[in-house]
A and B are shown apart, each in its own frame.
Chain A
Amino acid sequence: MKHTADEQKGTGNSVRSVPVRARRKLKVVAADFLNSLPLTIEVADDDYFDFEYVVPSEGARQLVEEEADIALLPVAALAEIGGLEVVPGPCIGANGRVDSVVIVSEVPLDRIERLYVDSASRTSVILARIFMESVGKGNIPFVRLGATEILNRVDGEAGGLLIADVAFQHSKRFKYRHDLGDAWKRLTGEPFVFAVWAAAPGVLNEEIVDRLNRRFWDGLARKHQIIEEWSAAHGMPVADVADYLDERIQFNLNRSAWNGLQEFFRIASNMRLLPDARVEFAQKPDRPAAQGMVPASFGRWTPEIVPYSRSYGVDRILARADGGRRISLHDAERLYEEADLTDLGEVAHSIRMKMNPGMRVSYIVAMNLNYTNVCNVDCSFCGFYRSHDPDRKGYDEGYTLNREQIRRKMNTLADADGAQVLFQGGVNPNLPIEYYIRTFAWFKKEWPQIHLNCLSVDEVLGLCPNKTPEEIAGVLSQLKEAGLDMLPGAGAEILVDRVRRRVSRKKSRAAYWLETMRQVGQLGMHASVTMLYGMRETTRDKFAHMAKIRQLQDEVSPFKVFISWPYRKAESLKLQATDQSGATYLRMQAISRIFFDNIRHIMCSWVTQGPEIGQAALWYGADDFGSVMFEENVVSASGVTYRMDSDAMEFYIRDAGFEPFRRTGEFEEWNRAEHDAVKARGQIVEFEPGRIY
């Protein structure tokens, strides 16, 4: 049914119509899953909305980055983001057996020792965690795989979490099936809610809530059409599809569903799986109080707006974070805007002491080896690079080190008992993958004691013309095989494309950066992760960046350490700098310690902040003082020229009240005997003079 923007239907309530010309259309996004179609099919046809079908993670991204106004949001994302409002009325839930979220295995539950899970549904994975915990199997590893791969891996003591179509079509072939909708009902006595319509505060009003509810009822009236079309398109029996929509899915966010949602948040928060969430109905000032916590009727639309995760006060957010609770993106924003730096420092330090016990601070002896400054990315905040294009200014100043030059630098590092080389440069289109393979193999043969922390994500992507996950995994595998140990986190900047497009038009989009790091994690490699703020991004952008990193870390754990620093404007650069103060740096770092409950180490950035703020940062959540620098060319290109040797680093660490220790690239304590033993195995590699590779 086609709807016009100014269409009204009588509901017995006074609904004001907003002329379409007077407002921007609201962007609404939702997944085109079978169970969501009754909610979305009529919204998609309504001219009042600018509607788009997207996968759930994309819907969450658009809502976070303020590209979408309303999203049909999985409830896990609702908790991770925080501070959103929920549309009362429709939901996607299950009051018992659901058939589309099922744990399967060939052995009884108590014999499952590993669970393969489909990372596409975070809410289902958390539900599976809760279920496994309830049957005494809370500690088994959850391994993320693609949906179809899970089917092939479920065997013996390995179970699998199947969702959506895969669950429908394949779960019956396994000996043991545990329907998580049913399990939840037996566990709590309440329905489970998978997704709800959600929006940022200020978006929803009575008219919009009413409209979404009416479109839902209109969509429900088309259920038979949906069943027939879905059945035909997916080759599923009509009876199964009908049974699913008629019997398995609960579409009303009624009182018991609401209770179920609250219970899910409570349990998930207690298990440290989701941020602490509080769910309650807003009390609109011009309306009589609702009865109790919820409106009297859920079945039809209600004028009450339901805010989700009405935020705690800043003090309570901090207290609960200190108690081990995860904070939401919205909580982090509030801490950034409102919290006292003193309080942030105290809680960040407390959390740091729990994650890295003892008053010890690590540092590493490493070298930044900037092998080339030739680059085709043209970041507006970078004073280091020179264009690969002969027609561009600065082309003549481009360099690529030859092997003698690199050997001299590596020997300098080796002579100082260096533990790691940070081999990074521009994205030089003249260097093929063979260059890196030969270079890393050479490094491992001649200096086996040195940990190879090499290539930013964009340098890796520069070797992947198609940038598919398979291609990225293939390139990383080759580099790993050659000797690459770890990826530096440089180039993350702010993982919000609106910001990335503005500061670096040609830089990889956020999804590619994240996909590369996902492959790093899946290959069992590690990386650091960074954040370059102060480029006129919003507070939301800063914490959207952090939220994406935290979610990826939940999935495949690639990150060893997080480091943030502000962009510094060199005279030659046009991009204006914001958030430059040392106080803001300490604030960002402290919040990062509080936010990243799944990244063990926080490194302070004395290279950009200077030793004074760098030292103070040790009391604001940092447990690592970074690296002694023999050479640094990128930050110094912006005019910042701080240097420190081992003596200086240890002096600053001790002066702040901590005990310094040297570490390896893997964040283990550096041991001279082990280092020397490995070093002794090094063999000089011969090559022709002047060769690049």
Chain B
Amino acid sequence: MDKLLHRVRGLVERGERVSSADCRALFDVHDLNEFSKLGRIVRERRYGKDAFYRSVESFEFHGGDPAHFLSEVVATASDDAAEIAIKPASNLDEGLRFWLDRFGAFASPGSSESRQIFILLTARFVTRLAEREGMSATRVLSSIREIVPVRLSGAGGELFDDEWRGRYLPGGITSERWLAVHQAGHEIGLRSDATMTFHTGWNPDLYVVHLETLRGLQDRSGGFHGFAPMAYHDTHPDTRYRATPTAAMTLKITTISRLFLDNLPHVIALPGIGDPELSYVALGYGADTIDPSVRPSDLEGMRDDASASGAGELPILSHENPNGANKLALSIVEDRIREARWRPIPVNGEFERIPTMETER
């Protein structure tokens, strides 16, 4: 194992690629101290002590009166947020025209609204619209982008394994479709996050295939700006350990993805999923960005699974989220980043820095 770590360290220090075989072997290493050291080599070479956090607040839109919806969103969104993401519900069987009519209302939210508002589309939503309308994903994305700012969400990436998807994502889209939508988006200039769902009990071979696939697409399209590992979790105190990725797994995957995905700019930790405190620790394992806007419902497999069991959307333990079950106040995010001895830098969904009093000085 020492030889493996030594070899990987050498590769990382020389800026060379980690092979799939080494990637797989790293999953059998336990030494978290070593993972931390390796992860930091890469993230500090890229960003020093900077730790980014996304200043985005997201809302799910179920296709109702857009003007009413928008007024509610504007009223409830945190003043801290620089951007507001509107995520259309992907389970509605409405056509492109229906959505274009509604999205049009979001294009001009009013001169008093300084926050950027955009539509955050999932690959699943785009695929369903494309299939319903008999058009390509590129066409769907272009049509929507013509009337309103659009971004492509990383949700639904889950794991690129058909057997797994058949079990955990019944009714979901295939890996091929997910990748095709993202590639289409990248080709027309959209950028997106890549994601991967993981769990302690699953075979690491699946993760290696998934990471290989992402790295390959990124080599071709260059359109991913970040990668977010997403812990499939169960928050019930009596059962969580049996169905929840452990800290060891989460931190290990953070580092391995940082080492392996050498062509992706950012690795993102998600305080809204799993133990929020672990995401700030992950900044020392290769992650460079905190995205508090991602919620458990963004794991399509987990949401479906929870709904099927009647559990509904999984709550985050309330004491860890004083400002609401699924939302973290950005001031808390900043404080946590500072407590972990990193320099908090607010960014928008596209990783553009948001000027602050501090940065302007």
Tell me whether A and B are bound partners: yes
Chain A: residues with CB nearer than 8 A to chain B?
A: 340-342, 345-346, 349, 568, 579-586, 609-616, 619, 638-644, 648, 651-652, 655-657
For the complex, what is the distance from the CA of A35 to the CA of B244, rounded to whole Å?
A: 66
Chain A CB within 8 A of B246 CB = yes
Contact of A651 among B30, B241, B280, B283 (CB under 8 A): B241
B322 closest partner in A (C-beta): A569
- Once A581-B339, A657-B30 are accepted as A-B contacts, the answer to whether A652 and B241 lie under 8 Å apart by CB is yes
For the complex, what is the distance from the CA of A646 to the CA of B141, rounded to whole Å?
A: 52
Across-interface contacts of B339 in A (CB, < 8 A): 579-581, 583-584
Contact B319 A616 (CB under 8 A): no
For the complex, what is the distance from the CA of A584 to the CA of B280, rounded to whole Å?
A: 10
Of B33, B244, B318, chain A has the most CB atoms within 10 Å of the CB of: B33
Contact A340 B277 (CB under 8 A): no
Contact of B33 among A342, A581, A613, A651 (CB under 8 A): A342
Does more than half of chain B's interface fall in helix, strand or loop, or is it mixed?
helix
Chain A CB within 8 A of B274 CB = yes
For the complex, what is the distance from the CA of A648 to the CA of B318, rounded to whole Å?
A: 22
A648 closest partner in B (C-beta): B241
Contact of A615 among B248, B318, B336 (CB under 8 A): B248
Across-interface contacts of B17 in A (CB, < 8 A): none
Of A341, A568, A612, chain B has the most CB atoms within 10 Å of the CB of: A612
Contact B319 A568 (CB under 8 A): yes
Contact of A342 among B30, B37, B280 (CB under 8 A): B37
Chain A CB within 8 A of B190 CB = no
- Once A583-B336, A657-B30 are accepted as A-B contacts, the answer to whether A616 and B248 lie under 8 Å apart by CB is yes
Contact A583 B277 (CB under 8 A): yes
Across-interface contacts of B128 in A (CB, < 8 A): none
6 contacts between A and B (CB under 8 A): A340-B40, A341-B284, A581-B335, A582-B275, A585-B277, A652-B241
B277-289: contact bitstring with A at CB < 8 Å (1 yes, 0 no)? 1101101100000
Contact of A639 among B277, B281, B318 (CB under 8 A): B318
A585 closest partner in B (C-beta): B277
Of A610, A613, A641, chain B has the most CB atoms within 10 Å of the CB of: A610
Given A581-B280, A585-B277, 5 other A-B contacts at CB below 8 A?
Answer: A342-B40, A346-B33, A643-B237, A643-B238, A656-B32
Contact B281 A616 (CB under 8 A): yes
For the complex, what is the distance from the CA of A582 to the CA of B275, rounded to whole Å?
A: 9
- Once A342-B284, A610-B275, A652-B246 are accepted as A-B contacts, the answer to whether A657 and B340 lie under 8 Å apart by CB is no
Contact A349 B33 (CB under 8 A): yes
A337 closest partner in B (C-beta): B341
Across-interface contacts of B248 in A (CB, < 8 A): 615-616, 655-657
Top 7 A-B residue pairs of the complex, sorted by shortest distance between their CB atoms: A657-B30, A582-B277, A583-B340, A612-B275, A619-B32, A612-B247, A616-B247
B322-361: contact bitstring with A at CB < 8 Å (1 yes, 0 no)? 0000000000000110011100000000000000000000
B51, chain A: closest CB distance, angstroms:
11
Contact of B237 among A582, A638, A642 (CB under 8 A): A642
Chain A CB within 8 A of B249 CB = yes
Contact B241 A611 (CB under 8 A): yes
Across-interface contacts of B284 in A (CB, < 8 A): 340-342, 583
B354, chain A: closest CB distance, angstroms:
23
For the complex, what is the distance from the CA of A655 to the CA of B32, rounded to whole Å?
A: 11
Across-interface contacts of B240 in A (CB, < 8 A): 611
Contact of B246 among A341, A342, A568, A612 (CB under 8 A): A612
Across-interface contacts of B318 in A (CB, < 8 A): 639
B229, chain A: closest CB distance, angstroms:
14
Chain B, 256-307, CB within 8 A of any chain A CB:
274-275, 277-278, 280-281, 283-284
Chain A CB within 8 A of B144 CB = no
Contact A610 B277 (CB under 8 A): yes
Chain A CB within 8 A of B251 CB = yes
For the complex, what is the distance from the CA of A568 to the CA of B30, rounded to whole Å?
A: 31
Contact B278 A582 (CB under 8 A): yes
Contact of B241 among A341, A586, A644 (CB under 8 A): A644
B75, chain A: closest CB distance, angstroms:
26
Across-interface contacts of A615 in B (CB, < 8 A): 246-248
Contact A583 B247 (CB under 8 A): no
For the complex, what is the distance from the CA of A580 to the CA of B278, rounded to whole Å?
A: 12
Across-interface contacts of A346 in B (CB, < 8 A): 33, 36-37
A338, chain B: closest CB distance, angstroms:
8
- Once A341-B284, A342-B33, A643-B238 are accepted as A-B contacts, the answer to whether A612 and B340 lie under 8 Å apart by CB is no
B36 closest partner in A (C-beta): A342
Chain A CB within 8 A of B138 CB = no
Chain A CB within 8 A of B250 CB = yes
Chain A CB within 8 A of B31 CB = yes
For the complex, what is the distance from the CA of A430 to the CA of B303, rounded to whole Å?
A: 53
Contact B246 A609 (CB under 8 A): no
Contact of B319 among A340, A582, A639, A655 (CB under 8 A): A639
Chain A CB within 8 A of B136 CB = no
Contact of A656 among B241, B246, B283 (CB under 8 A): B246
A314, chain B: closest CB distance, angstroms:
11
Chain A CB within 8 A of B221 CB = no
For the complex, what is the distance from the CA of A620 to the CA of B336, rounded to whole Å?
A: 19
B198, chain A: closest CB distance, angstroms:
13
Contact of B341 among A340, A582, A613 (CB under 8 A): A340
Contact A612 B274 (CB under 8 A): yes
For the complex, what is the distance from the CA of A638 to the CA of B40, rounded to whole Å?
A: 35
Chain A CB within 8 A of B175 CB = no
For the complex, what is the distance from the CA of A341 to the CA of B318, rounded to whole Å?
A: 27
